[in-house]
Amino acid sequence: MKATKQTLARSLSSSLPRLLTALAFVLPTAHACPVRPGTIGNGLIPTPAGLRAECGTNYQAFKKGVTAGSMWAEMYSMPITGPGDNVRFSQVVSTLSSTLTRKGYVFHRSAPVTNQKGAPQMLTFVNRNTGHVFAYLLVREGSRMTLALTGK
């Protein structure tokens, strides 16, 4: 079982750059890292404890690959070293989803970011009043979770 977990962790870790490159073709232009400091989702909610903006190599590759449109994009990560971290990260996603609902967004669709079996899903929401779009993707890579966000 341990070898399987290690193999999976290596596989996901090595696939993150490919996933981010694939996202570059799905997500329009990223403007800043983060768009509004102290918040996630372009000001949607305050940055939760333990979540940090990713502005390094992965984010830069993602940003560079994004070429069309006028949408914003952000990337965050959180170390996952124990069960408590999984709970905290789940709370971040729950808060994000409930805030979207409260602000008039409804679930639109879930789509894989690549054609590979088991590829992470991009969850897309549309605001029923404004037509604005908000999407996010979760990627587990070894001992951390990465959250990529985009919207218009």
What is the C-alpha end-to-end distance of the chain, expressed in Å? 42
Stretch among 5-9, 59-63, 90-94, 121-125 having the lowest mean pLDDT = 5-9
For 108-113, the CB contacts below 8 A with 24+ separation are 108/133, 113/19, 113/22, 113/23, 113/26, 113/137
Q: Report the C-alpha gap between 130 and 105 in whole angstroms.
A: 9
Whether the Cβ atoms of residue 124 and residue 109 lie closer than 8 Å to each other: yes
Stretch among 5-19, 76-90, 114-128 having the lowest mean pLDDT = 5-19
Q: CA 99 → CA 61, 104, 125, distances in Å?
A: 29, 9, 12
pLDDT tens column, 76-118: 999 988 888 888 888 888 888 899 999 999 999 988 878 888 7
Q: CA 53 → CA 25, 58, 61, 81, distances in Å?
A: 21, 11, 15, 18
**Taking Cα atoms as reference points, which of 122, 125, 152 lies closest to residue 20?**
122
Q: pTM for this structure?
A: 0.71
> Mean pLDDT across the chain, nearest whole number?
76
